[in-house]
Amino acid sequence: MRYAEPIAIIGAGGHAKVVIATLQAAGLPVGAAFDDDPSRWGSEILGIPIRGAVSRLPEEGYSQAVIAIGDNATRRDLSRQLTGIKWATVIHPHASVHPSARIGAGTVVFAGAVIQPEAQVGEHVIINTGATVDHECTIHDYAHIAPGAHLAGRVEVGEGAFIGIGSSIIQCRKVGKWSVIGAGAAVIHDISDHVTVVGVPARVIKQDTAARHVR
């Protein structure tokens, strides 16, 4: 997709740095950043000015943006609040995305990620550095596939789920919505909604997880 007008960055934390770097690498026009933390206003992130609160976006004249915030529920909430914004899809030139894969609006795909044929990736998803999503996987909206996580063929990841760094999911398994897969876990069974699992093989350690404050 081509973007003639600058793309505003929503969020100015560590994740936003990687989103900005990805926009720059892709040759996309980077606009100002917006963040609700007043201590950041007036400063810069990677040379990009942080203009003020997210609510200022329309009055600053931006109609396109990307939500550069790692927390899955926050991306969901902001994408629903900010109606009228066109959400940019950002793919690093050193990611490999098969032409038959579908990538939704607002989704970011970082360097080294691989998305194989007929994968379906929803909106406001993060496919982080070096993560792999194999053939015919389905990743629902607001999910985050952390760096170096590997999904075998036909895996389904539910809305808002967090797949931790370096974890693996064998083929045809489902991860329920808003669940958390811990760093380094090996998922060999389906995982239900709203749980946290860790280990090899992955086992439930917490129920009613909201995939919010994943550290």
Q: Which residues bind ligand COA (CB under 6 A)?
A: 128, 146-147, 164-165, 180, 182-184, 196, 198-199, 205-206, 214-215
CB nearer to ligand COA: give 1 or 200.
200
Least distance in angstroms from the C-beta of 54 to ligand COA: 21
Report in angstroms how near the CB of residue 144 gets to ligand COA at its nearest. 7
**Minimum CB distance to ligand COA smaller for 73 or for 118:** 73
Name the residue nearer to ligand COA (CB basis): 104 or 184: 184
Local structure of residue 19 (DSSP, 8 states): H
Which of 135, 140, 144, 189 is flagged as catalytic? 135
Contact 82, 101 (CB under 8 A): no
Our answer to whether residue 135 is catalytic in this structure is yes
Residues 197 and 24: their CA atoms lie apart, in Å, by 36
- The pair of structure tokens assigned to 67 is 């939500």
Q: Rounded to an integer, what distance in angstroms lies between the CA atom of residue 127 and that of residue 110? A: 6
Residue with the shortest CB distance to ligand COA: 182
Q: What is the CA radius of gyration of the chain?
A: 17
Q: Are strands 168-169 and 150-151 parallel, antiparallel or unpaired?
A: parallel
Q: In the bound complex, what is the minimum distance in angstroms from residue 98's beta carbon to ligand COA?
A: 24
Residues 6+ apart with CB under 8 A from 191: 173, 174, 175, 176, 179, 181, 197, 202, 204
Q: Catalytic residue positions?
A: 135
